[in-house]
Structure 1
Amino acid sequence: MHGEIAMSLLTMNTSLILGHDRIDTDHQKLFDLIEQLASAMNTGKDKRACVRVCSELLGYTRTHFAMEEALMSHHGYAQAAAHQAEHDKFVARLDGFRQMLDAGSVVLSIEILTFLLDWLRSHILLTDKALVATLPRLADDPAPMQHAFANESSWALGNRVNVKV
């Protein structure tokens, strides 16, 4: 697609905040990366910039999913297999989009952003909300996640995030 992507506004409001600091912070970072991808596409940055941001999103997504899966394993979460299957399908799709971007298929820009935002909102509101309802607060249960966070920076989570697509 040539030209600028049509813009709409997504607000990460309190309905997307689950009350588990680590998971909410990761979700904030995922929205931030999607916003960076939209910005790279909208400003006409070269293919390499879009691929770089998409690769960063893919890497952070894998880190976040590994943390959630460690939580599920540690707590014997009954829906772990189904939850992980959602993760696996999303990672495969995101990696496919990254490969298409790398191949020059920028026609998929709107499709990619719409899919990412819709999937993330739905996954948070349904699948992750169900998981968090079964977990103790991170402050009360830090041990199973310590290895997952050893090399990451902290991200502040406010009540609102605007993501333009």
Structure 2
Amino acid sequence: MGAIMAATQFFSVGLPEIDEEHQVLFDCLDAIVFALDTSYATSQGFAALEKLTDYSRTHFRVEECLMRVFDYPSLDEHKQQHAYFIEELEALRTKILTEDVSAAMVTFLTEWLRDHIRDIDLKYVEFFKQKGGPAFSQAA
């Protein structure tokens, strides 16, 4: 387990599938950090970023589908947050291609994801619980 995930594993939303997907996102960020610290920054960093971008899109679709099923009132706001993150990943992709990547950029993405889970995702979790939503683990 990487340093980013180790520092953020307590951000469980209580839905095992979503928590596992969040872990994959943080693992991808860890891979980018590792690539930045090695001589393979461009190739490994790009591959890790592609995985993070693709997986983020898939994960966000899953979350948004759950929100539609339960008629979550803040769906549009949540989708905007997801779109913003994807835009930031695309910007990072361009910077990796030009080899202009800093740890600060990855730190920003890591903090955004952590804060999004803690401050935004937990809102839909509470809403789902009130609606009798999917089974939650005891962690949340």
| TM-score, with length taken from structure 2 | 0.85
2:23 is matched with which residue? 28
2:33 matches 1:42:
no
Unaligned runs of 5+ in 2: none
Whole-angstrom distance in 1 between the partners of 2:41 and 2:106: 17
Whole-angstrom distance in 1 between the partners of 2:64 and 2:9: 25
Whole-angstrom distance in 1 between the partners of 2:90 and 2:135: 30
| TM-score, with length taken from structure 1 | 0.73
Per-residue CA deviation, residues 114-151 of structure 1 (Å, 9 max, x unaligned), is: 11111011100111000111222258xxxxxxxxxxxx
Per-residue CA deviation, residues 13-67 of structure 1 (Å, 9 max, x unaligned), is: 42x0111111111111111111111111112214122111111110001110010
Whole-angstrom distance in 2 between the partners of 1:52 and 1:124: 24
Choose the corresponding residue for 1:130, options 113, 123, 130.
123
Whole-angstrom distance in 1 between the partners of 2:117 and 2:15: 12
Whole-angstrom distance in 2 between the partners of 1:87 and 1:59: 13
Q: Which has the higher contact order (CA 8 A, sep 6+)?
A: 1
2:95 is matched with which residue? 100
Choose the corresponding residue for 2:13, options 18, 31, 50.
18
Runs in 1 of length 4+ with deviation above 4 angstroms? none
Unaligned runs of 5+ in 1: 1-7, 140-158, 160-165
- Work out whether residues 9 and 23 of structure 2, in 8 Å CA contact, stay in contact via their aligned partners in 1: no
RMSD: 1.8
Which has more helix, going by share of residues? 2
